[in-house]
Amino acid sequence: KLAILASMAFGSRLDFGGVECEGIARVRAADIPQAERLGYVIRLVGMADCEPGEDGGVRLLQRVKPCLVPKGHPLAHVTGATNAVVAEGNFSGRLLFQGAGAGGGPTASAVVADLIDIARGEAGAPFSVPVADLVPMGPAEGGNRTGRTYLRFTVADRPGVLAEMTAAMRDAGVSIESLIQEGRPEEGGEVLVAMVAHEGPERNVRQALDLLAGSPSFTDAPLAMQIIV
DSSP secondary-structure letter at 22? -
- The CA distances from residue 75 to 1, 136, 150, in Å, are 16, 29, 18
Q: Is 1 a catalytic residue?
A: yes
DSSP-based three-state secondary structure for 224 = strand
φ/ψ of residue 144, rounded to 5: -75, -20
Amino acid at 207: Q
- List the one residue out of 1, 5, 3, 11 whose CA is nearest residue 130: 11
CB atoms within 10 A of CB 107: 12
Q: Which residues pair with 59 in a beta bridge?
A: 51, 138
**Whether the Cβ atoms of residue 1 and residue 46 lie closer than 8 Å to each other:** yes
Catalytic-role residue among 1, 158, 170, 198: 1
Amino acid at 127: F
Report the C-alpha gap between 47 and 225 in whole angstroms: 13
- The residues annotated with a catalytic role in the active site are 1
